[in-house]
Copies of this chain bind each other. A is one copy, B any other.
Amino acid sequence: MEKNILKIGIIGLGTVGSGVVKTLKNFENVEIKAAAVRNLNKKRDVEVQNLTDDPFKIVNDPEIDVVVEVAGGCNPALELITTAIKNKKHIVTANKELLAKFGAQIFDLANENNVSVLYEAAVAGGIPIIGPIKTTLRGNIFSKVAGILNGTTNYILTKMEEKNISYTECLKDAQALGYAEADPTGDVEGYDAMYKIATLANITFHKRIDVNQIYREGITKISADDIKFANELGYKIKLIGLAQKTENDELDIRVHPMLVPVSNMISGINNAMNAVLLEGFPVDKVMFTGPGAGEFPTASSVVGDILQIAGEFNHTDTVLPLHRCPHKEKAKQIDIKHTKNKYYISIKAPNSKGTIGIIGTACGNNNINLSSILQKGIKEDNTAQVIVITEVANEFDIQNAIKELNAQNIEINNLIRVM
């Protein structure tokens, strides 16, 4: 079986695809056989010999060994990838949405067809994380994986803090600078981070994850005040993807903003950087940081996957177990209301003597102990802004306390969980 050169077909020559073509120039054991693009006439800064606007030509080309899918979205990506797998092609993809929604189906099909599906670039851009979890850290039983998984929102939160500006103003700047898309929903509402934590949870806990059961909250409600108050209290606000085992061996998976203590290294991850923290036995805690997106960092991960397949290509006729996702057991995922957290609560209350008492009583009624309570001055409309940080409490109890406060004309500006 001497087939020295690995032939790849690329679907998508956008930012990531271009980076892959440029990076692969350094490697003689991989040949780009063809690439599929949406618009054949578009000017590009990379040259690929066989360009097509029909991606099915790539997945059906008998000469292509590996299909590199960097176009994104589920349609037609799912059909393309399943067709390619049935045609016995290995897959390298950066498609976090596809993996989160259809990973189980894709991995089953890949196992049946004895091909590899690698996806280092789907999580945290250039940071090596999928590979290390599957190989170097394979001996561990993990209890937690968490991190900053979306560069756009981290950039926005960093700039909101630096410039003391509102989310809306900051988003406009980020869009102008190319850090946020024209329709930023996927990033700012936490969908992107949700897809990534789904994939991380899958390989960390060896369970199938239902992405629809992941609690998700974006950063659009974070105010400049929240960031300022958090800073005063010794925290940074970060959008965190989190998956952790509960005492009952269930999984608590969610994406939402969190107050991160400045003593935690994650609080120091700024701008478009990403970070992933793993906790397990025997390794204890390890953290990986680096660029979470961008042409070249993402290409680093895609090319790493391609070279891994190239390295095994001439030497084994099977897919090595470390590349497989053989686990079929579905995770028991708990609802956010059954989680326990510390909370930051920003409260808008009438400026009257009884307010602090009402807040204290509502918390006490619901088994919530307060760790600190600060009144942040009186506003022009004669309301007081009160910041409460709780001890660990049940989410269920917190939601009830908030209902009690609302019933007494006390509004909640924001509720943010604390790491």
Contacts and interface: CB of A to CB of B under 8 A. Distances in A.
Interface in A99-145: 120, 126-128, 130-132, 135-141
Interface in A276-313: 281-291, 294-297, 299-301, 303-308, 311-312
A315 B284 CA distance: 31
Interface in A1-56: 19, 22-24, 26-27
Nearest to A324: B311
A268 interface: yes
A399 interface: no
Interface residues of A, number: 54
Contacts of A291: 283-286
Contacts of A303: 138-139, 282
B299 A139 contact: yes
Given A136-B304, A139-B23, A140-B300, A127 B320 contact: no
Q: Which of A26, A135, A268 has the largest count of B CB atoms less than 10 A from its CB?
A: A135
Count this chain's copies in the assembly.
2
Contacts of A300: 137, 139-140, 282-283
Contacts of A285: 290-291
Given A27-B139, A138-B304, A284 B289 contact: no
Contact of A315 (B127, B294, B308, B321): B321
A297 B127 CA distance: 21
A265 B289 contact: yes
A286 B132 contact: no
A292 B306 CA distance: 30
A245 to B, nearest CB: 15
B138 A132 contact: no
A322 interface: yes
A367 interface: no
Contact of A283 (B27, B297, B322): B297
A318 interface: yes
Report, nearest first, the 9 A-B pairs whose CB atoms are least far apart: A139-B303, A282-B296, A286-B290, A128-B136, A283-B300, A131-B136, A128-B132, A316-B316, A126-B283
Interface of A: 19, 22-24, 26-27, 120, 126-128, 130-132, 135-141, 265, 268, 281-291, 294-297, 299-301, 303-308, 311-312, 315-316, 318, 320-322
